[in-house]
Structure 1
Amino acid sequence: MKLSALKVDAAAIETGEWVGDIPGSGDLRLKVRGYQNAQFRRLQQRLIDAVPRDKRRGGRVDPDEMDKITSTCLGSTVLLDWSGLEDEGGAAIPYSKEMATELLTKPEYRQFREAVIYAATVVGEADAAAAKDDEGNSSGT
């Protein structure tokens, strides 16, 4: 494996970029910072440190509590915007922190949460950046 294949775009991870072609998400595009960006890690650590002892087993945080922490971190430090999200009538749903929090925390919207995690995972990857460059050079644009 070439060393260049292991590079990431650290700036994109911290500032964010648009990600489309999210498996199982149709035309949804998400503007996200990279998973585990610096703000994410700081907030995650603060929230984990604040978990009461009764929600820790053997030094590990209860999985339900960890899901809440992850959702909070995604909404506060990863998800920045979206496009292509519509209500049942086909009207665009504008991005808001409140709607993002609802979609990231309610179990029935787990697929949306997984889409955010997927997008945040690919932000800054060299292959994703190359694919984006290729799109810009295609004859269809």
Structure 2
Amino acid sequence: MKLSALKVDASAIEDGQWVGNIPEMGDLEVRVRGLNNAKYRRIQARLIDAVPRAKRQGGRLDPDEQDRITATCLRQTVLLDWRGLEGEDGQPVAYSEELATELLTKPEFRRFREGVIWAASQVGEEQAEADKADEGNLPTA
């Protein structure tokens, strides 16, 4: 494997980028940071450390606690904006922290949360792939 195949766009992971073509999400696009952004890791570690022992089964977090921590991290550090989200009346729904929290935490919106996770996992990869393709198109000396 070439070293260039290991590259990601670190600035996109930390600053975010728009991601579309999210599976099963129609025209929805989200502006997200990458899942491994530094703030995500810090908040996740703090929240995991704060979970009481009673909510740890054999050293593992209770699934409800895992979901709560993931939703909190996504809301605070990953999801920045969206476009293409419509209300039942067909009108665009503007991004708000309150609605983002609802969509990321309520079980009935699990598909949205999974879409955000998928999009965040793509951040940094697309630019790195474009850079690799460009490298292949450069004339040799």
Give the TM-score, by structure 1 length: 0.89
User: What is residue 14 of structure 1 aligned with on the other side?
Assistant: 14
CA contact (8 A) 1:122 1:128 kept: no
Structure 1: which 4+ aligned runs deviate by more than 3 Å?
126-129
CA contact (8 A) 1:13 1:35 kept: yes
Task: Tell me by how many angstroms 1:85 deviates.
Answer: 0.3
Gaps of 5+ in 2: 135-141
User: What is residue 60 of structure 1 aligned with on the other side?
Assistant: 60
What aligned pairs does 1:39-118 form with structure 2 within 5 A after superposition?
Answer: 39-118=39-118
Aligned-pair identity in percent equals 68
Give the TM-score, by structure 2 length: 0.89
State the alpha-carbon separation in 2 of the partners of residues 128 and 106 from structure 1: 34
Over aligned residues, Cα RMSD in angstroms? Answer: 1.9
State the alpha-carbon separation in 1 of the partners of residues 63 and 52 from structure 2: 13
Larger gyration radius, structure 1 or structure 2? 2
State the alpha-carbon separation in 1 of the partners of residues 128 and 109 from structure 2: 26
State the alpha-carbon separation in 2 of the partners of residues 16 and 119 from structure 1: 11
Aligned residues: 133
Task: Tell me by how many angstroms 1:64 deviates.
Answer: 1.1
CA contact (8 A) 1:7 1:126 kept: no
Gaps of 5+ in 1: 135-141
State the alpha-carbon separation in 2 of the partners of residues 122 and 89 from structure 1: 31
Task: Tell me by how many angstroms 1:2 deviates.
Answer: 2.4
State the alpha-carbon separation in 1 of the partners of residues 82 and 128 from structure 2: 18
